[in-house]
Structure 1
Amino acid sequence: MSTPSSLSQGLALLGAAVERERSGRVGHNASRLADATGIERSRVSRLTQELRALGYLERDEAAVLSAGDAYFRMAAALDEPWLRASRRELRMLASRLRMTALVTAASGAGALLLRSETGVGAADAAVRPGMVTPIWCTGSGRALLWEHTRTQLEDVLRDVQFVGVGGPAAARTVPGVEALLERDRVTGMITATDEYAEGVTEYALPIHGSMGIVAAVAVSGPPHPAARTRSIHALLHEVRDRLSVLAGGR
């Protein structure tokens, strides 16, 4: 049996804390969460610290853990009309392009996968909702940074360790990320080739809501010839526009 990932264990801890809170009984502290989930106490301590830092868990004066603001924001987002509609749009993209289609939202220096669909023959069948990838070296991640200024980029990426993350074409500095954004703003489309994984190209666009960018829609797969790339661009723009309208944006 394979070792559980940090993601699956973190979700198990969050789920256990929320379930306990919803029951109306006294919430769990880290020790009781370890007992409830069967996860080693030292690992529970580290993972709950990370979940608290991200805002998914809160701890009160009695060390009881409960759902944090980020959890409720994400729960609200999952009920948004545009996100419900994105399932149909992603299936269309995945089917017609035979690529992996996905919608992500910003989570600090990461891009949180909200929904995904994998086309026949696509290579990214392992992607799962809830996974987090770097915001600076993925197409969907950089689309979330589309309107960021240099100061905002420096703030988001302040504690990022660029070295050892991403593919051979990934940016390794904040100015490098800014340069890629400036290049892609000219073409009107994020194109990330060999940035997260070698041999993979990701095309992405930001989805605008009434208060700015709420998410990104993207497709990923092997590089394509120019004629097919134009078709990808056209379909992705159409989907982005429809989802932006539903999100209350432009």
Structure 2
Amino acid sequence: MKSLSRGLDVLLGVAGLEQGATSTEVAERLGRNRVQVARSLHSLEAAGLLDRDARTRAYGLSWRLRTRAVLAARARLMVEGPRILREVVEATGVSAFLAEVRGDGAVAILEDVPSGLSWVGRSYPLYCDDAGQALLWDCTREELETVFAGTEFIAHGPQAPAGVAEFEARLIAARRRGYSVVDGESQPGVFAVAAPVKDFSGQIVCALHTEGPSERLAPLAERHGGIISEQAERLSALLGWRP
């Protein structure tokens, strides 16, 4: 059991370093004997859980392990997501969704819709979708330019952004706020708040958002935004994200 525990500690130590690490760096991070750590790293590599860079000699999580972890996180999202959505609906009284990026659009993958009108599988342009800002939360200006290269910013709603610069300004404001507010962008009179959901690697895998009429929901933006951001963080934690 001790050897298993040591091995798991070493594996987690490597997982916590995005760029990988040598045996010395892992030992220093864990405060452990370098020889013991080196043995554990060698065993984990032999088991296919770690890969070693031939040039830098640094260890990193193997693609085999990463792939399995991604599949496990996806499975958990599909189990825990509906529970989170139900709690959001109970707290806000409006429809709640989980959406992800597909191509240049955002698509709802899970929903809890009191009205019964399903939006799952429908795609909307990222620049004006209710979840668009949350899905592109971590993007730099350069990355946004790449995402929207060739995109025609059609005004699906009266408040839809006219270009990348306007979208970025709204995204920056959303980051400061802790959640995005989309009012009359995807459709006239439609209001939404959204927040990103991350997995164990820190990658944004989807966005949690509400949707409803602007007239009723705009005055509740701050309250609903707090609920959405809190539940998005909770779902992220369930997927293994640790800030």
Q: Which has the larger radius of gyration?
A: 2
* TM above 0.5: yes
TM-score, structure 1 normalization: 0.63
Q: Check if 1:91 corresponds to 2:82.
A: no
**Aligned residue in 2 for 1:52:** none
Of residues 204, 211, 214, the one that matches 1:220 is 211
Quote how far apart the aligned CAs of 1:155 are: 0.8
**Aligned residue in 2 for 1:245:** 237
**Aligned residue in 2 for 1:133:** 124
Q: Cα 1:199–1:149, aligned 2, differ >3 Å: closer, same or farther?
A: same
Instruction: Number of aligned residue pairs: give it.
Output: 173
Q: Cα 1:97–1:229, aligned 2, differ >3 Å: closer, same or farther?
A: same
Of residues 149, 152, 156, the one that matches 1:158 is 149
Quote how far apart the aligned CAs of 1:244 are: 0.3
Q: Cα 1:172–1:226, aligned 2, differ >3 Å: closer, same or farther?
A: closer
Uncovered stretches (5+) of structure 2, i.e. residues with no partner: 1-66
Instruction: Please give the secondary structure, in 1, of the residue aligned with 2:124.
Output: strand
4+ residue segments displaced more than 6 Å: none
**Aligned residue in 2 for 1:233:** 225
Instruction: Please give the secondary structure, in 2, of the residue aligned with 1:80.
Output: helix
Quote how far apart the aligned CAs of 1:210 are: 2.5
**Aligned residue in 1 for 2:95:** 100
Quote how far apart the aligned CAs of 1:108 are: 2.2
Alignment of structure 1 residues 48-63 onto 2, 5 Å: none
Kindly provide the CA deviation profile for residues 9-65 of structure 1, in whole angstroms up to 9, marking residues without a partner as x: xxxxxxxxxxxxxxxxxxxxxxxxxxxxxxxxxxxxxxxxxxxxxxxxxxxxxxxxx
Task: Measure the CA separation in 1 of the matches of 2:241 and 2:177.
Answer: 21
**Aligned residue in 2 for 1:177:** 167
Q: Cα 1:79–1:148, aligned 2, differ >3 Å: closer, same or farther?
A: closer
Amino acid at match of 2:128: C
Uncovered stretches (5+) of structure 1, i.e. residues with no partner: 1-71
Q: Cα 1:92–1:190, aligned 2, differ >3 Å: closer, same or farther?
A: same
**Aligned residue in 2 for 1:117:** 112
